[in-house]
Chain A
Amino acid sequence: MADRAETILEVRNLHTHFHTESGVVRALEGVDFTLNRGQVLGVVGESGCGKSVTAQCIMNMVPSRGRIVDGSVIYHQRNGQGTEAVEITALPPKSREMRRIRGNEIAMIFQEPMTSLDPLYTVGNQLLEAINLHQDVDRTEARALAVHSLDRVQLPEPERVFASYPHQLSGGQRQRVMIAIALSCNPTLLIADEPTTALDVTTQAQILSLMRDLQDETHMSIIFITHDLGVVAEMCDEVAVMYLGKVVEQTDIDTTFYSPKHPYTQALLRSIPRLEDDQDRRLEVIAGSVPDPSSIPSGCRFHPRCPDFVTGVCEQREPVLVQIEKDHQVRCHLYDETASSQPGTQP
């Protein structure tokens, strides 16, 4: 752990839109969060809330139809003396500087281990790609590094895996290979986009504990994208909750689970089954369903489903992210002094 809180990544007011035949899809409409060096941040939300697009923005790899229309991603890169702020969103996606950051400073692992490796090349070939690209080593050193990184993710017989084709490995093994590739160049930030969703439960547990161990060992920062609050509880130091393209709450892990402020976070936690619950009690669900991204509700995007909905405020004005405590931000009118003091006022 870093001695003092030192910011490594800042995402500010990020807006990303996709231009499709059926109109503009506003995938991100205000994503804000901060990640400290050596910390694990969980990004939680339902499917379609923009978690993966956020990851693509940080990697500056938004698909061709998408565009970052506002906001910024700032990466604090360590150099000799201190840190230097790099505005990732200002770099051209195909530029040399961006490619030097990708894979080297910021690495990423994906949701589907079965399709994350090119079926036509051996594991070794794809692992060496990353090593040769970012490290100044000769062929034997590169190979040794590659085998070592396979060993580090606890793959038995790393030499054999090195020479294997992806189809010869299981899903769990492939995800380990992906982690090995991601960590081969010792990145300072790892983005894990639902890395265990496609795996069965036992493999999932193994991969999580591996990631935990590797994080302890390297002190890298991790952005852990998931919709599984159990995984969050196991892995994360900080949590950012997203709803329909906006971050609605960011705080530390204990506050998230024990005193969440945003009605959406509260509702999410109530919908988790608990062991101590009465077996006959029905599980609580959040009323309604996620609106279609092309027909976003006015005002607060959560208001049609919100149990604490305030008529005349919530459907009228968009809430802003307010700092309610140190390291605790909420985007809700209930905690916004300026809003709640003048209810019903219209702009």
Chain B
Amino acid sequence: MLAFIARRLIYMISTLVLISFVGFLIINLPPGSYIDVFQAQRQLQGTHTAEAELEALKRRYGLDKPVPVQYWIWVRGFVRGDFGRSFEFNREVSELIWERLGFTVAIATGSLLFIWLVAIPIGIYTATHQYKLGDNVATIVGMAGLSIPDFMLALVLMVVIQRLFGFTVGGLFSREYVDAPWSLAKVFDLAKHLWVPIVVVGTSGTAGLMRIMRGNLLDILNMQYVQAARARGLRETTVVVKHAVRNAIHPLIMLLGMSLPTIISGSLIVSIVLGLPTTGPLYFNALRQQDMYLAGTFLMFLAFMLVLGNFLADILLGLIDPRIRYE
């Protein structure tokens, strides 16, 4: 087991090194750099940028050096927790991300919990009541949830709530609370806003997971060991929960591992539509503005979460399935 973890860690690190290199290269592929974006913005504002000023910027960020050198300067800092500076915000990348991480994780974990708590029981119900009324209703609702794009649902919800209840649900706080210190009223206000992104992001995820759970469980319910358990005289709930569901949950654990990066990317489009202060929109802007250290760091984080998610899923699978051996 320990040897397995050690070996997996080595794989993880080498994967991440490779990703960091390729990712950095791709971010540098588009012609131009942040300097050009900066210049264009200045021109729009009607100010002319002095050649000397641009030179100074270039030197400060090492943009005059070749790409491999830039890469090395950037990567070197990782060990110290230094991920470079954002051109656009002129602040440390780590600071920027850290600021928004709390809400991002809150929304992502909230929607993940929502998805699992809703989808798994419905999936079990629909599989054990195949083609009955409840199954058909759940299938129709699930298909609808799966086919409505989440940004669309976000817009519709915003409009409906605005019209019916008279308050806006964009953002995470009402205007008066944004800069207010933490208080009970502020927490209440947060909860009032938080459920919208959770439901929006959760809906399509729930629909998908529900179908997967239903399909898996139907397969398992036909297995002979389920019949054998029933033939022993076990209660139907014991048969389903102990023998069928535990066997059907395997693929879902793998899926959970793969959905770990969404905690960071924080469902980008929904966040932009709802104006949420999460890391998603920040990442999107960084890519547009060629804010390369910020974008690169995001990319690294996403890759790290994916690799970590897979690693955790493998360990978890090993814990629940005795057939999996670590050698």
* Chain A residues within 8 Å of B, Cβ to Cβ: 59, 61, 64, 94, 99-104, 107-108, 110-112, 115-122, 126, 129-130, 133-134, 165, 167, 178, 181
Contacts and interface: CB of A to CB of B under 8 A. Distances in A.
Contact of B232 (A111, A112, A122, A181): A181
B130 interface: yes
Given A120-B246, A120-B247, A115 B323 contact: no
Interface of B: 130, 223-236, 242-243, 246-247, 320-323
Contacts of A129: 229, 232, 234
Contacts of A107: 231-232
Contacts of A134: 233
A247 B323 CA distance: 43
Nearest to B225: A118
A297 B223 CA distance: 33
Nearest to B129: A64
Nearest to B237: A94
Contacts of B130: 64
B322 A101 contact: no
A104 B234 CA distance: 11
A133 B247 contact: no
Contact of A103 (B224, B225, B233, B321): B233
Contacts of B231: 59, 61, 102-103, 107-108, 110
B228 to A, nearest CB: 5
Contacts, number: 74
Contacts of B247: 118-120
26 contacts: A61-B231, A94-B236, A99-B233, A102-B233, A104-B233, A108-B228, A110-B227, A110-B228, A110-B231, A112-B224, A115-B223, A116-B225, A117-B228, A118-B225, A118-B243, A119-B321, A120-B246, A120-B247, A120-B320, A120-B321, A121-B242, A126-B232, A129-B234, A130-B232, A133-B233, A165-B323
Contact of A110 (B224, B236, B321, B323): B224
A118 B229 CA distance: 8
Contacts of B323: 119, 165, 167
B128 to A, nearest CB: 9
B229 A178 contact: no
Nearest to A113: B224
Contacts of A122: 322
B104 to A, nearest CB: 35
B225 A61 contact: no
Contacts of B230: 61, 102
Given A61-B227, A120-B246, A129-B234, 5 more contacts: A103-B231, A108-B228, A111-B224, A112-B224, A115-B223
A110 to B, nearest CB: 5
A64 B236 CA distance: 13
Contacts of A94: 236
Contacts of A117: 225, 228
